[in-house]
Structure 1
Amino acid sequence: MRTLFALMIAVLLVFPAGAHAWIPDDKGIGGLGWQADQWNFLPGTGVDAPRAWDNLFAAGRPGGKGVEIAVLDSGVAYENRGRFKKSPDLKKLRFADGYDFCARTSNGLNACEGEDKYPNDDYGHGTHVISTIAESTNNGVALTGLAYGATIIPVKVLNSRGEGDEDTIAAGIRYAVKAGAQVINLSFEFGSSTTSAAQVPRIAAAVRAARAKNVTVVAASGNGELQRVGYPAALPGVISVGAVTEHGCAAVYSNVGPGLDLVAPGGGKDAALPDQPQCVPAGPHGRPIYQLTLTSKLRQTFGYPTDYFGTSMATPHVSATVALIIASGVLGPNPTPDQIEARLKATARDLGVPGPDETYGAGMVDAGAATAR
């Protein structure tokens, strides 16, 4: 079965007119190549990373080289320091100075206490998200990153349980802007009890400040199976991202609604949607999003967890595509967040009923099309 699957993948990677996109040599989980595992990066099932990679080679900025992406999350496994370990496939990744706004977990009302300059990951979520964006690529090891040439600004705003608070997140956004971020990735949401911008005023103000500095903010729509987008994704000017499965169906957990902008691969179970034959809610679940990240209780070993699916996993696909658009120059040297959002939507792959809708937004992000001249 694995041999047959690998053959099917090889067929998928043949492009129109006999053209072949660049295929990195990363070996994947079972040694059959990254494309046997990263359905989320393939044409057809995913965001068409190979075509995007070719486009960025043509632009002279492979993998989005030079673009700075701030990832606000649980930190990243970027160094060997004390009990913290460095991911074996982030060795070539460019890291700018980051910050830890959540150095300790509070036992009180707030989720975070303390600050320092070492945004080490003690949860695993942040390393997974950053690996989707920028894991080392074409090094014969593990998997690939969509914007592998970008510089990452790691900003830790979530604790060892994946929890954060408004003050910490707002401070993280402002830090990212001052640090020179061009894109900010927010792979989290506040849940069903947060229903308006008035409940997160400091984050709303920080997002406005980011946009005023020409920074594009991308956030997860949420995993609550709600008919509305969660916060901070629902804030004005934020690109909200829902999740689809390997089958091209909306994921059952993904929040939807009128504020949804785009969808991207998140993995997991299909939603039960009428008149959409690609959706098989009673059938086998789609695969998760695989990346090399921290595993085990002590978070000191690395592996490929099978339970990473969600809008948190979908969001970095869009953030990475934003970085590739900027680097490609297809919108000029300094595109605005509004121009970038319009480009993402204009080149998205339509899913569901024809045209934009509340289940898929403008459609599935297509990195290949978005960076094409």
Structure 2
Amino acid sequence: MRTLLVLAVLAALISPTTAHAWIPDDKGIGGLGWQADQWNFLPGTGVDAPRAWDNLFAAGRPGGKGVKIAVLDSGAAYRSNGRFKQSPELKSIRFAKGYDFCARTSDGFNACEGRDAYPNDDYGHGTHVISTIAETTGNGVGLTGLAYGATIIPVKVLNARGEGDEATIAAGIRYAVKQGAQVINLSFEFGEGTTSANQIRSIAAAVRYARSKNVTLVAASGNTKSSRVGFPAALPGVISVGAVTERGCAAVYSNTGDGLDLVAPGGGRDMAVPGQANCLPNGPDGRPIFQLTFARERKVTSFGYPGDYFGTSMATPHVSATAALIIASGVLGSKPTPDQIEAHLKATARDLGVPGVDSIYGAGMVDAGAATARP
């Protein structure tokens, strides 16, 4: 496999018209190359990152350089400070000023209390999400990030148990907008008890504010096997994202429904989808989404590639990163609106399931390669 990869890279160097895509030299978890682990980035099973990377090279904005993505989550392992250590694969990432709306309290398990300027991750979820979006790529180690050239604004709105609240999240959205975010990633959902926008009015208002400032918001549909998209993904103006497995089947946990916009790789077990022979609900689980984060939750100094990260939270950053690449590529002009970006994501998605838009796959699987290609 290594020989083939070298030949592909050499061919790309020899001929600018070659069909070979850029293949980063990141060695993956077991040393066989990132492709052995990141099925979610490959063509066919994933979002076709190599083609997207080539498209962004051609646009002069490698990896989405210059676009700002705010990640509202449990923080980021973005710096070494006291007991917190920087993730080895986030050392070369561009981080803009972030904020902690959920500062860790004495025992680390209270609801969001206190604020400070250092959004250090004490859970691991946020670091995983950020790594899918922007992990250092082409450095000869580890895995890759889809929009590795983008600037990340880390905004901590979840505590050490991955829990947050309405006021904190609303404040985080407004902060991200004021810091110049062009895309906001929301890899979380409220429980099934939240069934209308009226129950999270301050978040709904913050979403409207973000949209008025030309910001694209992307959120997880939820992991409760519900036939209703969860909130905040179900809010008007938010792109809702469900999850698929490496077999191209809807994931068993993924929320579905008429409000589902797109799906992306989330990993795990297949759903039983009538008429889809590729779905094996009684077969072995598909692989998770691998990224470098804490080897165990809250062990903030020990990094690894845990095998239990699957969900719509893992699917969402694929769509956020692709939205950023669309902006950087210029395929929709210099300042595309959120509506234009959403429409383009759907128009270039890979149809799954029954032909056309449906409640299980929405408009289909996000395709970063197709979305960033010039006509």
> Is the TM-score greater than 0.5?
yes
> Is 1:367 paired with 2:368?
yes
Contact 1:12 1:43 in 2 (8 A): no
Partner of 2:54: 54
Runs of 4+ more than 4 Å apart: 6-15
- Give 1:190's aligned amino acid: F
Structure 2: which 5+ residue stretches go unaligned?
none
* TM-fit CA distance, 1:191: 1.3
Partner of 2:328: 327
- Give 2:258's aligned amino acid: P
Matches of 2:110 and 2:224 in 1, distance apart?
22
Matches of 1:39 and 1:298 in 2, distance apart?
27
- Give 2:102's aligned amino acid: C
Contact 2:241 2:263 in 1 (8 A): yes
Partner of 1:235: 235
* TM-fit CA distance, 1:106: 8.8
> Is 1:312 paired with 2:309?
no
Matches of 2:214 and 2:163 in 1, distance apart?
28
TM-score normalised over the length of structure 2 = 0.94
- Match of 1:89, SS state, is helix
- Match of 2:89, SS state, is coil
Contact 2:8 2:20 in 1 (8 A): no
Task: Give aligned pairs, total.
Answer: 368
Partner of 1:263: 263
> Is 1:252 paired with 2:252?
yes
CA separation of 1:339 and 1:128: change in aligned 2, threshold 3 A: same
Provide, for residues 194-224 of structure 1, a one-character-per-residue CA deviation record: whole Å limited to 9, x for no partner.
0000000000000000000000000000000
Partner of 1:199: 199
Contact 1:192 1:230 in 2 (8 A): yes
TM-score normalised over the length of structure 1 = 0.95
Partner of 1:338: 339
- Give 2:352's aligned amino acid: L
Q: In the TM superposition, what are the counterparts of 1:114-125 in structure 2 within 5 Å? A: 114-125=114-125
What's the RMSD between the two structures over aligned residues? 2.2
- Give 1:281's aligned amino acid: P
Contact 1:76 1:127 in 2 (8 A): yes
Q: In the TM superposition, what are the counterparts of 1:1-373 in structure 2 within 5 Å? A: 19-105=19-105, 111-296=111-296, 297-373=298-374
Contact 1:350 1:362 in 2 (8 A): yes
* TM-fit CA distance, 1:298: 2.6
Matches of 2:182 and 2:91 in 1, distance apart?
23
Provide, for residues 69-103 of structure 1, a one-character-per-residue CA deviation record: whole Å limited to 9, x for no partner.
00000000011100000000111100000000000
- Give 2:307's aligned amino acid: T
Matches of 2:202 and 2:284 in 1, distance apart?
42
Contact 2:110 2:159 in 1 (8 A): no
* TM-fit CA distance, 1:295: 2.0
Matches of 1:10 and 1:48 in 2, distance apart?
19
Contact 2:63 2:147 in 1 (8 A): yes
CA separation of 1:58 and 1:32: change in aligned 2, threshold 3 A: same
- Give 1:360's aligned amino acid: Y
Matches of 2:351 and 2:370 in 1, distance apart?
12
- Give 2:189's aligned amino acid: E
* TM-fit CA distance, 1:110: 7.4
Contact 2:83 2:300 in 1 (8 A): no
Matches of 1:175 and 1:259 in 2, distance apart?
27
Worse-superposed segment, 306-315 or 275-284? 275-284
CA separation of 1:322 and 1:309: change in aligned 2, threshold 3 A: same
Matches of 2:7 and 2:218 in 1, distance apart?
33
- Match of 1:248, SS state, is coil
Structure 1: which 5+ residue stretches go unaligned?
none
- Match of 2:128, SS state, is helix
Contact 2:357 2:364 in 1 (8 A): yes
Matches of 1:47 and 1:103 in 2, distance apart?
35
Matches of 1:178 and 1:291 in 2, distance apart?
29
Provide, for residues 104-162 of structure 1, a one-character-per-residue CA deviation record: whole Å limited to 9, x for no partner.
3599x972000000000000000000000000000001000000000000000000000
Matches of 2:136 and 2:168 in 1, distance apart?
29
Contact 1:106 1:113 in 2 (8 A): no
